[in-house]
Chains A and B, each alone.
Chain A
Amino acid sequence: MKSLEELKAIRETMQAQMGLRKEDSNQTRIVVGMATCGIASGARPVLVALSDIIQEKGLTNVMVTQTGCIGLCQYEPIVEIVEPGKDKVTYVNMTPEKALEVVDQHIVRGQIVSKYTISEMIG
């Protein structure tokens, strides 16, 4: 059985690394809707994909978190990107693939992926 001993070793090797992320106002938040409507529409794989890609790319100033139902159930899975000092961008009908595209374009390159935004969808 896998034990927590291994985690102690991970902790020790990381102890030397500086610049551990702290939760602060300069952080970008990626918020996934995880109420019944979101989960039923496939929010879990979207959240897991986002969490994985953020780690993979070493985006330490980005945090993936969740929220409840925002009343737009038919557009779930919904992902909101909240960057300090900018307007919130709401992406709708997300899939793991689209979410990865959003991270690449929006978070890394700073370009909003208009075709997936709520304003584009509603028209």
Chain B
Amino acid sequence: MLKVSLRNTNKMLPEISLNILDIANNSISAGADLVIIEVRIYKEKDQLTVKITDNGRGMTDEQISKVGDPFFTTRNTRDVGLGIPFLKQAAEITGGSIVIESIPYKSTIINASFGLSHIDRMPLGDICSTIYALIMANQSIDFLYIYECEGKEYQLDTRNLRQILGDVQFDRPEVAEFIRSFLKENQEEVDGGN
């Protein structure tokens, strides 16, 4: 049994990017073959938003209404489902919120907003590693990652990579290195000057 107090969210998943990894893994478990991850930073509105969209089996309204409850889970390997309660709490302590909408097998969307300058907002953390790990460990699933900061943005769409690569796998060293540096360099450029 995982022993945890929800007051200690920051200690369990201390970066927003680890929460994103966790939520994206829910999408994968739900059978999605496309997961869209959007991270947007708006200094003017003092807001950081995270939106995760997938085409997995989704949730019923009843499931959505219970999703903030850590003792509710559809799995049977363990008693509690902590992923979404962690994200919810992390957002709410910064004056933000989460909203979930689901049309099964079409789109399930989790939208989280954080108060950007709030003292309790956990850092975004190593988002590039999160996206890299997702792509490398799930090569049959497509990911679209969009990162925006102050009106500048970039994206990485594995469907475009596949189109170029044909039958060359993502975990070939040259390709993996490209993906890693594509994420890192473009992230830095979008962040640059902000």
List the interface of chain A (C-beta within 8 A of B): 1-2, 4, 6-8, 10-11, 13-14, 20-21, 32, 34-37, 39-40, 44-45, 47-48, 51-52, 54-56, 58, 63-66, 68-71, 73-74
Contacts and interface: CB of A to CB of B under 8 A. Distances in A.
A70 B86 contact: no
Interface of B: 1-2, 12-13, 18, 21-22, 25, 28-29, 75, 77-78, 81-83, 86, 126, 129-130, 132-133, 136-138, 154, 160-161, 164-169, 171-178, 181-182, 185-186, 189
A73 B12 contact: no
Nearest to B172: A14
B8 to A, nearest CB: 10
Contacts of A2: 181-182, 185-186, 189
Contacts of A37: 2, 78
Contacts of B164: 4, 7-8, 11
B173 A48 contact: no
A38 to B, nearest CB: 9
A11 to B, nearest CB: 6
A68 B29 CA distance: 7
